[in-house]
Chain A
Amino acid sequence: MNRRVIVGLAALAAIGVVLAILRLMLSRPLAGAIEFGWPDGVILDLRLAAIVSAIVIGTALAVSGTMLQAVLRNPLADPYILGVSSGAGLGVMTAMYLAWAMPEHARWLTAWGTVGPAALGAIAAISLVLALGRRSGEHDPLTLVLAGAVVSAMCGAGIVLLQHLVPHGLRGDLTVWMMGRLPESIDRSIVGSVAAMAVLGVLIGARMGRAMDVATFGDDEAHAVGLHLGRTRIVLVALAGLLAASTVALAGPIAFIGLIAPHAARLLIGARHGPLVVGSALAGAALLLGADCLRQLIDLGSGRLPVGVITALLGGPVFLWLLRSGRGSA
C-alpha cells in the first residue's frame, strides 16, 4: 500500500474516533442547552450502543455502496438501488397488516419488531432482482438497475395497497419506519450479526479489490484480462444486497451514506477498490456518527429528528461538493 492510502485511511479513522468521542460527550436534552461531559451509568450504555450501531450500519452501507458502484459501473449507485429498501418496506407493511388483520396468527411475525419482516422483504427483493437482471443468461449492469427499478415500483405499489386496507392510524407507522433511526437499545444477537456481516463485507471487499477494479472495464475487456465477470457480479451484488438488507432491517432506510462514503473515501485514497472498501467503511461510520451527533444538537421544538432526515437533508449538498472537488483532483 502506498503512502497516500495509509495517510488517507489514518485520517478517516482519526475523524471517526473524534466523532465517536463527540457523540459520547456531547448532548442536548429536550428543550435544554448543549451539554458536554462524560456520561455514566445507563446514559453511557445508551450512547455506546448508539455509537456501535452507527459504526456497524455506516460500515455496512458504505461497503455495499462501494461494491455496487463498482459492479454496476455507476457512481450514483447506492445500496438501495436494487430494491432493498422497498422490499423491506413491503415486508414491514405486510407484517403490520397481518398483525392487525389476523393478530392471533401473526404473533411470531412481530417477535422482533420490524427486524424480521424487513430482512425477509429485502432479501426477497434482491433475489428477485438477481433473477430478473440477466441478459442472454449473464448479469449485466443496466439490466440489473432496470430490474431494481421494476421491483422497487412493484413493492411500492404493494405498500400502498396494504396501506389502503388498514385503518388510518396504522398508515403512519410505516412512515416513521421509513425515516430510519439508529437503535439505542440493541439486541446483541441482531447487532452482532450485522456487525459480523459488515466485517465480512470489508474483508471480502478488500480481497476482491482488484476484481472490482477490473469489473469497471468493458465486459469483453474484463474477460480478456482474466476476470470471471459473471461470477464476480453475482457475488458482489449478493453480498452488497445482504449488507444493505441487514442495515434496513436494523435501522430502516438511511439515505446517502452508502452513496457518499465511497466518493469521500475516493478523494482521500484514490479509486483502487481494495483500499477503497476499507476507506469507505471508515468514511461511512464517520458520516453516520457525524449525522447522529448533529441529531443530538438540533432541537426544533418538536422532539428528535430521525437520523435519516439529517443524512437526506445534508446528503445532497455534501454530495454535490464532493463531486466538484473530485473533478478538480489530478
Chain B
Amino acid sequence: MSLVLDTISHRFGAVVALREVVARFELGRTTVLLGKNGAGKSTLLRCAIGALRPERGRVQVDGVALQRMARGSRAARIAFVAQRPLFGARLRVREVVELGRFALSARPRRVEEAIELMGLGDSCNRIASELSAGFQQRVALARAFAQIEPTGWLVLDEPAAALDPAATRVLVAALRGHVVAGGGVVATVHDLVLAAAIADEAILLREGRVLAAGVASRILRPEQLEAAFDAPFWLARLGDQEHGREVAFPRLQPSAPEA
C-alpha cells in the first residue's frame, strides 16, 4: 500500500524544480522530507497530492494513476495541509473542518473527533480567519483528519511551523495515532527535533534531486545533512541516558560548546 512518485521531473519555465525524483511513501510509516529552501520539497508535495501534474513521470496510489482517480476516492486517500492555510471567507472552525468532507459522505462524528484531536473544542465556533497562525494550522490539520480514512496519507507542508511546543506535542501525538492506526504521513520539516520525533523514513532533497533516502536514523546524521544543507551539523543527545537519543542539530554558533 504505497504512494509512489516514479521518476518525477518538472520545471517552471527555465527553473528545474524536480529531477527524476523517485519516492515511495508507505502506509504505517512517517516519511519526512528535508532540504534547503528551493530544493523542491513543496513541488514534490504538490505532485504527490495531484495538484501539479509533473512534466515527466507518474504518481500512483497502490498502482492506480493518481490523475485517474475519482475526486472522492482521491480525497479519501490523500489529505493535504499547506504551510500557511488560507481561509478566504469568514467561516467558523467547525464549518471549515466539515468541509474536509466536501467530496465525501457526511460523517459528523469524524468531524467532532478531528476537532477534539487537535484541541479545538473550545474554539469551534470562532471565525477561522481571525485565529492566530498556530490555531489556523490546527484547524487545517483537523480538516485533514476529518477528510482522511484511517488508511490514508496525510501530506503536510511544514505542519509545525506556527505551533508552540504544547501544540506540537498534540500534533505529534495525533500523527503517531494516525500511523499506528494504519495511515501514512508525509511531511516536510525544517525542525530536526520534530523530524527525529516523528520520522520513520527520511528523504533529503537538493536542487530537485534526491540526495539520500531511507530509514530516518541513518539519514538524519550530520554527514548526510551537511551534504544536503551546506551547513554544519553536530550530533547531540536529547533526553536522559535511558530514554534519550541522538539527534543531529544545525550548528548555529560559530564555535562548538563544551561537550
Contact = CB atoms under 8 A, between A and B. Distances in A.
A and B in direct contact, judged by CB atoms within 8 A: yes
Interface of A: 70, 73-74, 210-211, 213-214, 216-221, 223-228, 266, 270-273, 326, 329-330
Given A226-B74, A226-B103, A220 B89 contact: no
Closest 5 A/B residue pairs (Cβ): A226-B103, A73-B88, A224-B80, A216-B88, A226-B75
B103 A223 contact: no
Please classify the interface of chain B as helix (H, G, I), strand (E, B), loop, or mixed, using the class held by over half of its residues: mixed
27 contacts: A73-B89, A74-B88, A211-B102, A213-B89, A213-B95, A213-B102, A214-B99, A216-B86, A218-B82, A218-B85, A220-B46, A220-B82, A221-B85, A223-B50, A224-B49, A224-B51, A224-B80, A224-B155, A225-B99, A225-B143, A226-B103, A226-B104, A227-B102, A271-B90, A271-B95, A326-B90, A329-B127
Contact of B71 (A73, A221, A228, A326): A228
B175 interface: no
A213 B147 contact: no
Contacts of B140: 221
Contacts, number: 90
B51 A220 contact: yes
Contacts of B84: 218
Contacts of A227: 71, 102-103
Contacts of A220: 46, 49, 51, 80, 82
Contacts of A70: 88-89
A210 B104 CA distance: 12
A330 B125 contact: yes
B91 interface: yes
A219 B51 CA distance: 8
Contacts of A223: 49-51, 80
Contacts of A216: 86-89, 91
A326 B50 CA distance: 37
